[in-house]
Chain A
Amino acid sequence: DTVLTQSPALAVSPGERVTISCRASESVSTRMHWYQQKPGQQPKLLIYGASNLESGVPARFSGSGSGTDFTLTIDPVEANDTATYFCQQSWNDPNTFGAGTKLELK
C-alpha cells in the first residue's frame, strides 16, 4: 500500500502562514486530497486533485504538488483552523490516508 507521511504536529500564531506536508512512498500523480478534522467531527474536504479548492472552503487554503510531494498551505491562519489535517491518495489501490498533522494555535 502507498504510505503517506505527514509531520505529526505544528504550532503557529494567528495571522501566520503554515505549510503542511505530505510525502508519498510512490507516485500518486495529482490524486492527492486534503481534509480537515476537528475533535468529535467527521473529516471535511478542503482540496481535491492536489490543488483544487472545494466549494465553500475559504481561499486561505491552497494545495500544491505532484508525484510524491504535496503541501497544504493556510495563509493566513485563523484561530478556528485548529484541527488535524489529513492527506489521502486515490491513485494507487487501496486509497490510503496519512496519519494526520495536528495544527495548534499559539
Chain B
Amino acid sequence: EVQLQQSGAELVKPGASVKLSCKTSGYTFSNYYMSWLKQMPGQNIEWIGNIYGGNGGTGYNQKFKGKATLTVDKSSSTAYMDLSSLTSEDSAVYFCATAIRDWFAYWGQGTLVTVSS
C-alpha cells in the first residue's frame, strides 16, 4: 500500500523558515516525481513544484521560485520542502503528492502551516 506521511502542523513567525517532510512507503521512491502543492482556506490548489526521486532534479512554478526549495533523501524515501521568508500569505495547508506521469495519484494528509507573530 502506498503511503505518504507528512510532518505535523507548524506555527512559525513572520520572516522565519520552515522545513516540511513527506515520508513515503509502498513504492519505489526513486522512480517517480514528488510534487508539492499549496491550498489556502477555501481557495484553489496551487502546484509549487516537483522533484525526481532518482536524481533530485527539480522543476518549479515560477510563482514559488525563491520561496520553496525541494530536496529528497533517497535513503529514507523522504521528500522535503523548505519555505523561506514566511509571510501571512504562506499560511496554508501544504500537500505532497506522487505523480504518475502528470496526474497526482497519491497524496499525503497535508501539513498546516500558520504564520503568525
Interface residues of chain A, those whose CB is within 8 Å of chain B, are 31, 33, 35, 41-45, 48-49, 54, 86, 88, 90, 94-100
Contacts and interface: CB of A to CB of B under 8 A. Distances in A.
A42 B61 contact: no
A54 B105 contact: yes
Chain B interface: which size bin? Answer: 20 to 34
**Which secondary structure dominates where chain A touches chain B?**
loop
B43 interface: yes
A44 B97 CA distance: 10
Nearest to A99: B44
B102 A31 contact: yes
Contacts of A99: 43-44
Contacts of A96: 44, 46-47
A70 to B, nearest CB: 13
A88 B44 CA distance: 10
Contacts of A88: 45, 103-104
Contacts of B35: 95
A45 B104 contact: yes
Interface string B61-96: 111000000000000000000000000000000010
Contact of A97 (B45, B62, B108): B45
Contacts of B46: 96-97
A45 B46 CA distance: 16
